[in-house]
Amino acid sequence: MAATVAVVEPELGSGPNSSQHAPAPASWIADARAKMRVAPQNFFAVRAGAFWFHAFSSMVLAYASAGIYLETSIWWIKIPAFLSAVFWLYRAGSFVHELCHLPKNELNGFKVAWNLLIGVPTLTPSTFFSRQHRDHHSQRVYSKPEDPEYVVNCCEPGRWRSLLGYFALIAAYPILIFLRFFLAPLSFLHPRLRAWTLERTSSFTFNPKYHRDLSQIHYPSFLTMELLCWLRASLIPLVVLLGIKDWTRMPQLYLLGFSVVLINQLRQLADHHFSGEEHVDGFEAHIADSCNFTGNDLLTRLFFPFAIRYHALHHLFPSLPYHNLAAAHQYLLRELPADSPYRDLDQGSWWNVARHTLKLRRAPA
């Protein structure tokens, strides 16, 4: 049991055997949990080799492509290298999500290696993501106005001005992240400024209503990552000022960052249905508001690497490692009754959900 539930807070209901002080789940959710308890294999077992291989092979390909893109001036080489770099950077960066759901003492070497080799160079350390993502899974926060990852908290779909502002924020976000780390030393000038910085600018969210709980910060690891990211951010203008690199290096890096952020935010348009209600009440509604993508069209495959397309299944069992999601999904489809609502979570493609999200108007309060 420890291997299945140690990943996340008890309220997340992470494993099939998790016990939590909450209302009894709907019968179909209880059925799914029961099936997972008697599964012929342990879908919650983490395969270390998969994590190391997928993350760091993506990193090597990302950095190799980025190096070619940044150094060549031949456009017919530069453009394909740029596209390849964005593709592999997005895949390597997506492992920040997997770190969040690993048990506390599972793959500690991988966690450190990912942060040092991917998180710091790309200014995306897991210390700025894990807390907010766990809050997104929490029934206390999910779909509420402060939910840091519920897209309709950041824009009003169906209203072009709000959508324009949302995409403008996507465009500005790489610069904001750079400034957050580059100016980090200034936050120590006053305790109140430091507290505001930690609470309001230390999570990778677009939602200004989300405030980080300072009591949940593990300060030794947080400060270490913040220092390393400050050094990394400072290095970007320094190599230009010293004449080591041309000034064009900075807009080129921005374009890489913007493209990866854009893909990630486009994906989030279809992680959930965003039902139009003020918020989603109850765990059953929470899962029903989430999507599993079964299609193989180009955009679905691009936006959902490493089987994270099974997003509803992930919210049902947050500690299921990414490499077992597809197999667990097929197992549940075989074992659950034909009329199980779990089957209704399947969606054909990213666009089927995203187009409705973009047109949706939330009900007035």
Q: Name the token pair of 25.
A: 């789940």
pLDDT digits (tens, 9 = 90+) for 29-77: 999 999 999 999 999 999 999 999 999 999 999 999 999 999 999 999 9
CA distance 314 to 70: 36
- Average pLDDT for residues 129-143, to the nearest whole number? 94
Does residue 2 have a pLDDT over 80? no
Does residue 18 have a pLDDT over 50? no
Does residue 364 have a pLDDT over 50? no
Question: Given pLDDT bands bounded at 50, 70 and 90, which one contains residue 160?
Answer: confident
Q: Domain coordinates of the chain in residue numbers? A: 47-359
pTM of the model: 0.90
CA distance 354 to 339: 26
CA distance 312 to 289: 8
pLDDT at 310: 96
Question: Given pLDDT bands bounded at 50, 70 and 90, which one contains residue 104?
Answer: confident
Contacts of residue 7, Cβ cutoff 8 Å, sequence gap at least 6:
14, 15, 101, 102, 103, 106, 318, 319
